[in-house]
């Protein structure tokens, strides 16, 4: 029997598996993931600030995956496209007939000297739990040390996850201060970014609202401040230094570390794909392989710019990759991927948010405040239903 292999149990991989199961192909469906659980990446900031328990944003794959799917819990080390095999850390080589690579992203820390080991990324559930324990530890330390840097958080980055984290943290500060018996008024959150203002490339009105919200809640924004180096407890912006005993790294993501060792044509470890999501030709191409989600780089045909990584993009790519694999399986041709964005929705703490929604005529509606939370609940529900 032929084997369709899906790598990664994030939004992209799990939606692909769900769609494959629904189509009941005459092939084995195999899912490989390094952890036995899935986590909702779009809600990691809630765990990082201690507001939400990790169990609320994750589930055990063995309990939710259709029993007809072969589930392998192991880490992908490399892909050998020529022999159509994936090398796993524990299980060695496993062969496929068709591959959907949805390995997701990794933090983009390596570019900045000293960052690795001295900053807290926010890409995986482990990262979020590490950030949470770190914050709890420095707040505990403060009672003895009275060191003001224990009460300072520096956030490097100004994108989606940085803004969501800062807004959630500002909301949580009174509860944290009470729990750890530290003065809430002395806790500081600073944001360092190379752009002049947060989410620079987004709609200016949304950016203005975000600035108002974060600024109003006390975040100190250091725009046009590119972080050049990190040392334990210190952020360097050129010759200037800033001390904080919690340094969160949220400058965006790169693709999986498997990409550079697997011979793909790539940029920042994100695989450049053809318009049908197959792999850009390398050594004659690998036509039975599709790359989706954060590990892929898909350009907007109108602007030529790569779409920002998002769960909505990952889910729609999974639909296209599944259709293309099934079409090839039946001797057919592949289809072009067309992204239909529904807009941008960003949480600003548990009771607020901003959104820019696009209607079918390409017109935008902007929303802010409590009504956006309803949209966010619906969005999170939609993401969940797309994968289980």
Ligand X SMILES: Cc1cc2nc3c(=O)[nH]c(=O)nc-3n(C[C@H](O)[C@H](O)[C@H](O)COP(=O)(O)OP(=O)(O)OC[C@H]3O[C@@H](n4cnc5c(N)ncnc54)[C@H](O)[C@@H]3O)c2cc1C
Helix (H) or strand (E) holding 254: strand 253-255
Collapsed DSSP state (helix, strand, coil) of residue 255: strand
CA 287 to chain centre: 27
- Least spacing, CB of residue 228 vs ligand X, in Å: 24
Q: Indicate the residue among 46 and 150 with the shorter CB distance to ligand X.
A: 46
Q: With binding defined as CB under 6 A, does residue 8 bind ligand X? A: yes
Q: With binding defined as CB under 6 A, does residue 311 bind ligand X? A: yes
Collapsed DSSP state (helix, strand, coil) of residue 293: helix
For residue 131, give the DSSP letter: H
Q: Indicate the residue among 41 and 109 with the shorter CB distance to ligand X.
A: 41
Q: Measure Cα distances from 136 to 47, 93, 123, 177, 248 in Å.
A: 12, 42, 19, 10, 14
* Residue of 239, 321, 247 whose CA lies nearest to 277: 321
For residue 350, give the DSSP letter: T
What angle (nearest 5°) sits at the alpha carbon of residue 378, between those of residues 33 and 42? 40
* Residue of 248, 290, 287, 245 whose CA lies nearest to 271: 290
- Least spacing, CB of residue 239 vs ligand X, in Å: 31
Q: With binding defined as CB under 6 A, does residue 10 bind ligand X? A: yes
From CA 142, how far away is CA 153, in angstroms rounded? 13
**CB atoms near residue 67 (< 10 Å):** 8
Query: Judged by CB under 6 A, which stretch of 158-166, 298-306, 333-341, 357-365 contacts ligand X?
Result: 158-166
Q: With binding defined as CB under 6 A, does residue 312 bind ligand X? A: yes
Q: With binding defined as CB under 6 A, does residue 166 bind ligand X? A: no
* Residue nearest to ligand X as judged by C-beta position: 10
- Least spacing, CB of residue 274 vs ligand X, in Å: 18
Query: Judged by CB under 6 A, which stretch of 42-50, 205-213, 335-343, 355-363 contacts ligand X?
Result: 42-50
Instruction: Select the residue interacting with ligand X from 29, 42, 119, 139 (CB under 6 A).
Output: 42
For residue 309, give the DSSP letter: P
Q: With binding defined as CB under 6 A, does residue 160 bind ligand X? A: yes
From CA 385, how far away is CA 14, in angstroms rounded? 10
Instruction: Select the residue interacting with ligand X from 4, 18, 41, 278 (CB under 6 A).
Output: 41
Instruction: Select the residue interacting with ligand X from 309, 348, 354, 355 (CB under 6 A).
Output: 309
Q: With binding defined as CB under 6 A, does residue 34 bind ligand X? A: yes
Residues forming the site for ligand X (CB under 6 A): 8-13, 32-35, 38, 41-42, 44-45, 75-76, 102-105, 122-123, 160-161, 164, 256, 258, 293-294, 309-312, 314
């Amino acid at each position: 029997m032929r084997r369709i292999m899906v790598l990664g149990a994030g939004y992209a991989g799990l939606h692909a598996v769900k769609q494959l199961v629904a189509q009941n192909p005459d092939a084995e469906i195999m899912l490989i993931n390094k952890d036995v659980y899935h986590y909702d990446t779009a809600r990691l900031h809630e765990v990082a600030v201690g507001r939400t328990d990790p169990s609320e944003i994750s589930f055990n794959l063995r309990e939710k995956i259709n029993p007809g799917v072969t589930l392998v819990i192991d880490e992908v080390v490399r892909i050998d496209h020529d022999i159509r095999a994936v090398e796993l850390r524990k299980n060695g080589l496993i062969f496929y007939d068709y591959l959907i690579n949805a390995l997701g992203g990794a933090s983009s820390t390596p570019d900045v000297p000293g960052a690795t080991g001295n900053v807290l990324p926010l890409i995986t559930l482990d990262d979020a739990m590490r950030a949470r324990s770190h914050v709890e530890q420095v707040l505990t330390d403060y009672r003895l040390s009275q060191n003001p840097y224990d009460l300072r958080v520096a956030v490097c980055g100004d994108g989606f996850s940085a803004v969501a984290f800062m807004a959630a943290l500002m909301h949580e500060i009174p509860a944290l201060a009470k729990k750890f018996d530290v003065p809430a008024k002395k806790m500081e959150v600073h944001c360092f970014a190379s752009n002049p203002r947060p989410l620079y490339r987004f709609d200016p009105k949304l950016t203005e609202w975000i600035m108002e919200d974060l600024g109003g809640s006390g975040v100190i924004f250091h725009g046009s401040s590119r972080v050049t180096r990190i040392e334990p407890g210190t952020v360097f912006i050129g010759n200037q230094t800033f001390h904080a005993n919690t340094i969160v790294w949220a400058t965006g993501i790169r693709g999986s570390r498997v990409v550079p060792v697997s011979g793909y044509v790539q940029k920042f470890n994100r695989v450049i794909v053809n318009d049908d999501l197959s792999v850009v030709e390398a050594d004659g191409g690998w036509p039975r392989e599709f790359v989706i989600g954060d590990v892929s780089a898909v350009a907007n045909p109108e602007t030529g710019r790569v779409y920002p990584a998002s769960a909505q993009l990952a889910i729609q790519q999974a639909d296209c990759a599944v259709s293309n694999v099934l079409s090839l399986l039946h001797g057919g041709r592949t289809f072009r991927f067309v992204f239909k964005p529904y807009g941008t929705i960003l949480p600003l703490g548990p009771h607020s948010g901003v959104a820019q929604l696009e209607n079918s005529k390409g017109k935008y509606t902007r929303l802010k405040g409590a009504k956006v939370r309803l949209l966010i609940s619906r969005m999170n529900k939609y993401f969940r239903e797309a994968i289980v």
